[in-house]
Chains A and B, each alone.
Chain A
């Protein structure tokens, strides 16, 4: 069969627009037969089984397309005497409610839609914005906020948010860097969290029987939804962020280290100093710290440009780390060359 697509798609689009208008205008549920007798494009002979079947297929396809677009098709019986279901579209379900956005609010929405750029939900963001515009909102495409986040999401973002919304369980392969083999996890996802620029999913781990969070960047391959929708309920008023955020405020840097630094060296350490006393051979810095291992690592990184003078525990950790560095980096001389 030869199909001339522009023509086909035009008559099809025309038929669908007419179908939407027809179903919006009716308060009674209209049966498929009534629709076929009304909307142009569905003409057929109901007595001819093949013709009738072709109509039914066409009508099914059209309903599916409207539903995919988000058109709320209602089904029901026109009256108690009817036996066949009919269709209609309730205007209040169909129509975007009025959104009285002030100019600065409209600008913010325009900027927000742009944040997706080419990532993740870019297409959804721009079609959402198109609907707001169609509702009469004026969006200034030039508006800026002075500071704009660059949104990036991992590929697992879409399927996980969809599953969390549908309350469907998911399964995925998860790779933790410190663990040898990726493992398969089964999760009831409660929601997705962006914490410090990274994405996590929080939910009930069905294998561990406990609440767990997973980093989206560590999910390998695709996320599969399993089982039926509405299969679980997240705890009431769950605070997703509290499950991810281990940060409980600024770290108290109560330790005071005395560090000797050669003149003009170790700029990165000087930035940390609360006090600097210059001397002929170098400067003495006082550096506040909370974790002695962390500070020792920083000092070791600066090699011979710095010397830890106190407290003694810092000195010991630095010496220990330096010894290990030397031992690990001894040049291995092949025995045959000796």
Chain B
């Protein structure tokens, strides 16, 4: 038969049934656990948990006499299951649960710089084993491994020391020295980042590990101030704000890839080409990028940028009127 349409009530009832089937073995494994602690683990209020217990109390084996029903000792704030009526284990992992855990563990195992890759791999093997067939997950993960540099920086982060880093900022095309208070390291897509309080900028910054050209671990501790708040990177790292300058490009087929690589405000078809609008952190960065993109990209606006690009290129060309210097 076809599955029932899931109403909100159906969903709530299915969630509750799943929780109850977990609750009995959970309590069974932890005699005398605090009701409040169990409620927190299951993400419900203490009152809801007590209602769950009341419901379980009238469930049991056929016969439904005193010796057949699930039994428990409620001692003030604590609860102990004294009879489980056969629900002594949780249900097996369903395919989605197995997929979620196995893929995330494979991701962790592939991530350079995790402190305990060995533990991750052992855990993965055990979960796969317990999940049986459903762990036969058709998902493979491979992340790039510039593990050496990541490991070195992570060592300093683990020791909770401040760092002096030499950092390259492409937006301004400059390499600067700064002292930072590391907060955490993370991996977003293929890139590793150090998140730290930057004492120079007096703000929380995400530093791309491949742009940290050198670093020194300082003797002083890492002390990010109270206002240092981690970024929300669940949506990616670059969030163009409306205050950044807009540039408009005419893009041919061969360079259409840039619309997948850089966040764009608008991509519009125009004959054989596309008109692409994007926000850039810096016009100088845009110039360096756009000058180098090749014959498939023409900057349309702003006019200052068009002029600047043409003049830069013309000046650069003047350098080539003379033959190259002969070097030893």
Contacts and interface: CB of A to CB of B under 8 A. Distances in A.
A21 B61 contact: yes
Interface string B16-45: 111111110110011000000000011000
Nearest to A297: B292
B91 A94 contact: yes
B243 interface: no
B134 to A, nearest CB: 8
Interface stretch (B7-15, B72-80, B197-205, B218-226): B7-15
B113 A147 contact: yes
B97 A125 contact: yes
Interface in A109-160: 109, 111-113, 115-122, 124-125, 127-136, 144-152
A135 B89 contact: yes
Chain B: interface size category? 35 or more
Interface string A179-213: 00000000001111111111000000000000000
A97 interface: yes
A34 B313 CA distance: 88
Contact of B123 (A101, A191, A194): A101
A237 to B, nearest CB: 12
Contacts of A116: 100, 104
Interface string B179-198: 00000111111111000000
A333 to B, nearest CB: 12
B104 A13 contact: no
Interface in B127-148: 127, 129-130, 132, 136-144
A12 B108 contact: no
B108 A194 contact: no
B175 A105 contact: no
B107 interface: yes
B126 interface: yes
B58 interface: yes
B92 interface: yes
A266 interface: yes
Contact of A93 (B92, B127, B130): B92
Contact of A96 (B92, B158, B175): B92
A220 interface: no
Nearest to B153: A147
Interface string B150-191: 100010011000000000101001110000000011111111
A266 to B, nearest CB: 7
Contact of A111 (B100, B108, B294, B315): B108
B313 A115 contact: no
A45 interface: no
B55 interface: yes
Contacts of B173: 266-268
Nearest to A95: B89
B150 A134 contact: no
B288 A129 contact: no
Contacts of B4: 61, 64-65
Contacts of A147: 111-115, 150, 154, 185-187, 192
Interface in B281-305: 287-295, 298-299, 303
B242 interface: no
B50 to A, nearest CB: 14
Contact of A298 (B186, B187, B292, B299): B292
A274 interface: no
Given A146-B157, A271-B175, A18 B104 contact: no
B238 interface: no
A196 B142 contact: yes
B245 interface: no
A123 to B, nearest CB: 8
Nearest to B26: A134
A109 B137 CA distance: 17
Q: Could you say which of A178, A325, A330 has the most chain B C-beta atoms within 10 Å of its C-beta? A: A325
B208 interface: no
Nearest to B41: A133
B158 A146 contact: yes
B59 A17 contact: yes
Nearest to A299: B292
B168 A268 contact: yes
A198 B189 contact: yes
A9 B12 contact: yes
A313 interface: no
Contacts of B149: none
A271 to B, nearest CB: 6
Interface string B96-130: 11111101110110011111100110110011011
Contact of B287 (A151, A196, A303): A303
A128 B168 contact: no
Contacts of B93: 96, 128, 131
Nearest to B144: A196
A100 B122 CA distance: 11
Contact of B17 (A17, A72, A111, A318): A17
B291 A301 contact: yes
Contact of A21 (B85, B107, B309): B85
A112 B105 contact: yes
B253 interface: yes
A118 to B, nearest CB: 6
Interface in A21-74: 21-22, 24-25, 38-40, 60-61, 64-65, 68-72
A300 B292 contact: yes
A307 interface: yes
Contacts of A99: 126-127, 130
29 contacts: A17-B59, A64-B3, A65-B4, A94-B92, A96-B91, A109-B101, A128-B98, A131-B92, A135-B29, A146-B114, A147-B111, A147-B192, A150-B189, A152-B234, A178-B257, A189-B138, A192-B140, A193-B140, A194-B142, A241-B142, A268-B170, A284-B327, A300-B291, A303-B291, A306-B316, A307-B319, A329-B298, A331-B303, A331-B307
Closest 8 pairs between A and B when the two form their complex, measured CB to CB: A197-B189, A128-B97, A303-B312, A191-B138, A301-B292, A197-B190, A95-B89, A136-B29
